[in-house]
Structure 1
Amino acid sequence: MKSASAGPPTLRHVAQASQVSESTVSKIVNRTKRFSPEVERRVQAAVAELGYTPNPHARSVITGRSRTIGVVVADVLNPHFALLIKGVGSVARARGYTVLLTDSDEDSDLEAELLGTLIPRVDGLIVAPRLEAQVVAQFARLKPLALTARPSDLARRQALGEALTFGVDGFQTGQMIGHYLAQGGHRHVSYLHLAQADDDRLRGLEAALGGQGIRCTVHRSAEPSIEGGLRAATAMLLGEDRPDAVVTYNDLMALGVLAEARKFGFEVPRDFSLVGVDDIPYAALTSPPLTTVRTYSREIGVQLAEALLDRIEGVDRLAPTPPTPQLMVRGSSAPRQYEAAPVGRG
């Protein structure tokens, strides 16, 4: 066994201690080939006992991989993305990868710049895309790419080229909200839409409401944040034709609408129902608690990372089925009570 005074342990020391070749140790440590459980156990025990740490530069030269993945999210302060990053990180650590995290700040030009910078340095990328599909497809030809959203229709998925797509069904999410509001007797719904997003949620909402003859007014914001909700609330709530329900692209926007409504003297859900999307940790703690759709952010992060690393490593495995969105009905929404129109006498 190597003494502590002889310098840091090397691959050769691990090979000698576990009675296998240096090549076998390298393949086990770098996870490029599987061996019998007994051989892997001996090597792992020797690594632990000697305190051996692989040299990442040497490893990348040998394998052609950096064992690093890039993650580009649209807003690192958004709890939805924070949970997604948690999921990605847990898988990356378990499989021996490092994560490089960057924030595109909801800017498609910055997103393209970040992707161009990261691609030579990483084995693959997870991206919350704001770029056009054809641009995403070009990047996906350079390195394995996994996206945090999955278009509902096949043609739009095909436009993304080789990019992997994961996420709850946006169309189903919007449709679920629309059916819920229709059943509650709502007659006019305002939707706060993210201007730079290809929004399946809006398509699903309009389909559900239109089928019931319910009006849907769309307001656009470039800020999927509390500030975006604050700024949009004035136009939605102070006009002559105020809606009896407001649906927002995400929960952060809903929190902004809720705060601004209170400032104007409105009471939710007495004056209008409010529904968000994502079910971030704060959603159940607002006053009133926010009705929203759970999109399983952390679970999607896990699925994205597993699928991306499988593609990087050439593992042929069936892709997991994305979670089904779940409507979380809480205190910010309630059925509408309208007086019946008087019946005339003939």
Structure 2
Amino acid sequence: MLVLRRLFVTLVLLAAVALAGFYFLTDPRVVSPSPEVGALPAADIENGKVLFAAGGCSSCHATPGQDDRLRLGGGLALASPFGTFHVPNISPHTRDGIGNWGVQDFVDAMAAGVSPAGQHLYPSFPYTSYRLMPPKALADLFAYIRTLPPVEGRAAPHDLSFPFNIRRIVGGWKLLFFEGAPFRPDPSRSEAWNRGAYLVNGPGHCAECHSARNAFGAIVAATRFAGGPDPEGKGWVPNITQSEKGLATWSADEIAELLKSGFTPSFDSVGGSMAAVVRNIAQLSDADRAAMAEYLKSLPAVEGPQRPQAKAP
């Protein structure tokens, strides 16, 4: 009995140590420290407007069922294998939106996935891409959002199955999959290529849809940009690398044209969520769309997961 009692006590102590270690390592300040804002130049609202369009903020955060894409009352439901996420209100409303946030609060959310209350945000919000945006750019974006109309009302809480409804486990997810720092230009590449790389990987967060994901919902790095199942289960997202199944036969001008008009080289038009992406990217300058196209043409060919064959009727 004494041996069993000692074994039991040892197991309890080991479990307590493991739990304490997990709790420490998954602390938002430990696993995803946010860049300190510090003193920044005056916000550039026009740059914030460009980033707002590049990021497609209105596509997710505009209140469904109304035509004004600048009323960011949230409420859109996003289905996933883990449950349904409800997009929050990010209008400047002081009670229901982010009107009481400071710049550091906004940077914490966008670059570290941490709320002003110190809780992890779920990576259905693509802070894994927004992490590449430097604090000055995020401050510009925040300044632009604060010029938009405040909207009353809060979105419903997320409807997630156990254990995904426990936010602390997001810290474990971050330990495994969240990394990165603000974008650093590649000095061996052109200014336009670097601008395109920043827009595609950062505010544009193109990889979030155009990449396959593993069982934990993280992007599979080896097949980044190579397409895969739609994250919401609504079909298949195409390969945008230089694979023959992707954009190998497209010219940079043709890619830029699609980003402006939604038309492919064969005069087909994009649909689904990509139509909303085009509506947003069309607000950028021709130079920015050309930069994005230059970067996409530089991506190596990557073969993504096999698309399922359509079932015979």
User: What interval of TM-score do these two structures reach, taking the shorter chain for normalisation?
Assistant: under 0.3
- Between structure 1 and structure 2, the one with the greater Rg is 1
TM-score, with length taken from structure 1: 0.22
Higher strand content, 1 or 2: 1
Q: Which has the higher contact order (CA 8 A, sep 6+)?
A: 2
